[in-house]
């Protein structure tokens, strides 16, 4: 059996390209998920690994769809090999667990994927700091604006319960609790 594995990191990303390539490559079943590749604890990946039988093949498009960490990649590769299955990457044909050099090649490629992830995180952090310096606000927009928060606090001070205030503003009691516990500006 030929199994495919496709992954993207977020719900906003599209799996279509990977699914199409894996389908054309002859995968009988494709496991796919929208989860970060920073660790190997992914339900569909684990389900695929649990399914493998001797003689099966796992296909993915590129290394970082399987794992970003070289140690995770080696662990996954060893699991595939221990099941008597093989692992091949469509766009990196030198990655093939039947090769004598597979362990070394996978470690080097996995290391490169980890380096790339660290670089992405570093660039993201730099961009976030620059945005903060320009005054960009991060996080979710408050459910109640400043005047509404002041009105809610006034109602609480006037004797209304948190439940009554929350109901009046159409928010949860925990939202009112956060307004109460927030330090005064």
Q: Answer whether 69's CB lies under 8 Å from 42's CB.
A: no
Residue 65 and residue 94 in contact, taking contact as beta carbons nearer than 8 Å: no
* Sheet with 2-8: strands ordered across: 29-34, 2-8, 57-60, 86-89
Q: Which residues pair with 93 in a beta bridge?
A: none
**Euclidean distance between CA atoms 133 and 19, whole angstroms:** 41
Whether 172 is a known active-site residue: answer no
Q: CA 64 to CA 81: how far, in whole Å?
A: 19
Choose, from 9, 99, 167, 172, the residue flagged as catalytic.
9
Q: Kindly state the DSSP code that residue 96 receives in the 8-state scheme.
A: B
21 in Cβ contact with 90 (< 8 Å): yes
Strands 29-34 and 2-8: parallel
| Cβ atoms 118, 89 nearer than 8 A | no
Q: Give the Cβ contact number of residue 149 at 10 Å.
A: 19
Catalytic residues, which ones?
9
């Amino acid at each position: 059996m030929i199994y495919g594995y496709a992954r993207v990191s977020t719900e906003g990303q599209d799996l279509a390209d990977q699914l199409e390539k894996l389908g054309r490559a002859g995968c009988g079943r494709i496991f796919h998920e929208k989860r970060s590749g920073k660790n190997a604890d992914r339900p569909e990946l684990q389900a695929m690994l649990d399914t493998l039988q001797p003689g099966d093949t796992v296909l993915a498009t590129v290394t970082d769809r399987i794992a970003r960490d070289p140690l995770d990649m080696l662990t996954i590769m060893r699991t595939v090999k221990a099941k008597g299955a093989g692992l091949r990457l469509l766009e990196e044909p030198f990655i093939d667990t039947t090769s004598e050099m597979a362990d070394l090649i996978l470690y080097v490629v996995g290391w490169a994927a980890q380096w790339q992830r660290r670089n992405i995180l570093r660039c993201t952090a730099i961009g976030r700091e620059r945005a903060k310096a320009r005054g960009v606000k991060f996080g979710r927009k408050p459910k109640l604006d400043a005047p509404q928060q002041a009105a809610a606090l006034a109602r609480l001070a006037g004797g209304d319960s948190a439940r009554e205030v929350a109901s009046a503003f159409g928010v949860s009691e925990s939202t009112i609790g956060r307004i109460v516990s927030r330090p005064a500006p």
